[in-house]
Structure 1
């Protein structure tokens, strides 16, 4: 299986360049309506378009997970990032609108495939099953990100414009059930070994289910699906942690958003590399630097770089090293959605909650796999609470700037405690992002449905 194939240059099928209502897409802008799914030859380009839409969710998801939390300090001029950095978030925030729009772009694209595909003849049965599974998996993934970011959200399952132009929010519980159904339906029909980890696979769904059940506190199922990924032997930990920072498509990647120089989010005006490096709109927070530099190994510190020439005033001189920061090199501009290191942490946490603290098949065993890779001493813990604390610290060391931090704080009920200490502007309302103001104004179903506190 080749995990190193660079994603081809995609035809952009899902561009909504203006701020049109994503729940009521205009056919002139949503070009998928121009590329009708009429025969078997159309299937490939339409699936390509689905992945193009998914790639648009990558940077906004990373921004949500890290910029909302205590990972960054704002030092630039863009309003949306100043609001996130200073914890003065408003419903008009452009970053908040961007994530919502890109999630629904992808959901709409998946619904298009699921609606049209059954009527197309001449498609081999195996391909039909795989394309259907891909659409369901990526739709479920978008709802997973959405519900954990915004809470209750419109459940859009059709491309019908009359239905979608006036649709209210569905409860979190119903959305969660819908995600589980999509994931489980997709699992049997995706390949073990896709052409590249830029495409959906059975392992990607298993990793997604492991994360899903971790968030739902179903520890046995989280452990089960994490074990399925680990024992599949389709993925191996890289030997040096710095490879994860500097390289795309490593042997550890399970699902990765691949970009070319033409659509690289790192080099766009508001892309990750420009925000972290070019403009330095945000910098690593001192609190996270303290955590990284207290790690039992220096390897994970390679997530950030220090440039003494930048050290002045409130600027600590540090730069996030991921997303295209290798000099004269664009081989680390991809965004990883799932990788094996996270799966080991999921299984460790699930095992710890089940009382499997030490010995074979324990949380300690999983944690020390990552400690060994980082050239750090083995972790030991005598109690469940001690082990859980070690795991949560390890998630900072291992997953910094991969978009997990805010979601981790929320799912472990620590967000208000940690964030109130980080910023005097933090309010409990910020446990959820607001529904974008533009959506409330354009969709009557969302009138008077803003999240509390905004």
Structure 2
């Protein structure tokens, strides 16, 4: 397992092996699955521990290193190296997710091992199978998030991440992009057969949630037919929110079109704190003018749901704030994290259809009609114009949800900021695919302790 304490464990094992003659004793440096998990209640507790490990890191990283946000002058309190593309393998701002997701993976593999050894009554077999399905889907999701984050390129032969199918201490090498994709797809297929359609808890992975993960994974794989198939499955089971329902998604008043979300409690890091510091009332990162200018401010329901304009904040203060995770007066900055929504499924299907001569314009127009008052459908001259329009729509629809940088990387496009969005970036206006920082670095610690892995190019 990818683990910074591996050498401590190795030393412990050497001491143990040299001093103990009772070789049939079970090792004491690991948790015995038979003892840790004795029944389905224990399994459920372990499964919840996996969900709890997932966080909002990718939302912040995608916004800060892309063109979604700008750095206002009032932010003199936050580490801004990531926004200026000055990160290295020692920068926790971009490497912390590596251990976050592998911690979740280690937990779920331990729970899967426990699930294999417990005995359940016949009446509980369906519940046991659903738990297994959730765990397999989580394993696929976590590895996919790591691949999006740390893969060198999103194509066959690219450096991926180790796909861990068991909890163990070792020196795993980096699997290729296509190997990670294949393993994730296999886990998702198995998961889908185990989770019943009747299970509809949106704070956990449901059957429609598996379809949504499959659709997104197929998009990155450029498997257009599968992207269409799985996005359609999700769309058919989870319709778009109406214009009246849409604002309530972001205040957690409703969960229309939400496929899977992470429930956030007051004891966890609040997503709104990525963009706004309550102490001192400081905007850490404001919506970029590039993003603001892309909206029809008068007619697009997304604009006021995502962006707040406040001209009373005073001189040298940003008048624009990220509103998507504003929370409530009682709990500012606190909001559930929406990992998958139907709006994304429409855009996945539209992009896949554009690449395979389908009705991409139909899906794009349908989404716009749901979001923009008085919208009139448009047609496109060709594939390039259509894909460009879909990317612009993804920029708007999925703003601050953890996609923008990865979307640009999927098509090898540069991060291009407007001059007015780069006044405090020390010249960080354009990030090219040929630059080291276009592929995020693995943690320097992992490189130093794992003899079988190596860093992304040019670091």
Using the size of structure 2 for normalisation, the TM-score is: 0.81
Q: What is the deviation of 1:277?
A: 9.7
Aligned residue number for residue 110 of structure 1: 108
Correspondence 1:289 to 2:292: yes
Rate the CA distance shift 1:398–1:260 in 2: closer, same or farther, 3 A: same
Of residues 245, 252, 264, the one that matches 1:247 is 252
Q: What is the deviation of 1:312?
A: 3.8
Task: Note the residue ranges of structure 1 that are not aligned, 5 or more in a row.
Answer: 1-18, 357-361
Of residues 89, 95, 107, the one that matches 2:87 is 89
Whether the aligned pair in 2 keeps the contact of 1:238 and 1:252 (CA below 8 Å) is no
Whether the aligned pair in 1 keeps the contact of 2:70 and 2:285 (CA below 8 Å) is yes
Whether the aligned pair in 1 keeps the contact of 2:270 and 2:333 (CA below 8 Å) is no
Decide which structure has the larger Cα Rg and report it.
2
Q: How does 1:15-414 map to 2 (within 5 A)?
A: 21=4, 36-54=36-54, 58-75=55-72, 76-77=75-76, 81-122=79-120, 124-151=124-151, 152-161=160-169, 163=170, 166-232=171-237, 234-240=238-244, 241-247=246-252, 249-266=254-271, 271=274, 274=277, 278-292=281-295, 297-302=299-304, 303-310=306-313, 312-313=315-316, 315-328=317-330, 333-356=335-358, 362-374=359-371, 375-382=373-380, 383-414=382-413
Counterpart Cα distance in 2 of 1:415 and 1:344: 24
Say which SS state the counterpart of residue 38 (structure 2) adopts: coil
Counterpart Cα distance in 1 of 2:130 and 2:361: 37
Task: Note the residue ranges of structure 2 that are not aligned, 5 or more in a row.
Answer: 10-26, 152-159, 423-427
Say which SS state the counterpart of residue 205 (structure 2) adopts: coil
Q: What is the deviation of 1:34?
A: 12
Counterpart Cα distance in 1 of 2:247 and 2:436: 36
Say which SS state the counterpart of residue 291 (structure 1) adopts: coil
Aligned length: 416
Aligned residue number for residue 431 of structure 2: 426
Rate the CA distance shift 1:170–1:311 in 2: closer, same or farther, 3 A: farther
Provide Cα deviations, 1:3-35, integer angstroms capped at 9, x if missing partner.
Answer: xxxxxxxxxxxxxxxx97287898999999898
Counterpart Cα distance in 2 of 1:64 and 1:276: 22
Provide Cα deviations, 1:254-277, integer angstroms capped at 9, x if missing partner.
Answer: 00000111225337xx65554999
Counterpart Cα distance in 1 of 2:28 and 2:91: 26
Whether the aligned pair in 1 keeps the contact of 2:89 and 2:444 (CA below 8 Å) is yes
Question: Which stretch shifts more, 82-91 or 326-335?
Answer: 326-335
Q: What is the deviation of 1:425?
A: 6.4
Whether the aligned pair in 2 keeps the contact of 1:265 and 1:272 (CA below 8 Å) is no
Rate the CA distance shift 1:89–1:95 in 2: closer, same or farther, 3 A: same
Whether the aligned pair in 2 keeps the contact of 1:63 and 1:403 (CA below 8 Å) is yes
Whether the aligned pair in 1 keeps the contact of 2:203 and 2:260 (CA below 8 Å) is yes
Provide Cα deviations, 1:331-387, integer angstroms capped at 9, x if missing partner.
Answer: 96111110111111111111122222xxxxx22222222222221413312322222
Counterpart Cα distance in 1 of 2:362 and 2:29: 52
Counterpart Cα distance in 2 of 1:343 and 1:24: 44
Counterpart Cα distance in 2 of 1:136 and 1:98: 23
Whether the aligned pair in 2 keeps the contact of 1:324 and 1:333 (CA below 8 Å) is yes
Provide Cα deviations, 1:376-417, integer angstroms capped at 9, x if missing partner.
Answer: 41331232222222211111221111111011111122135x
Q: What is the deviation of 1:326?
A: 4.1
Q: What is the deviation of 1:38?
A: 2.6
Rate the CA distance shift 1:25–1:242 in 2: closer, same or farther, 3 A: farther
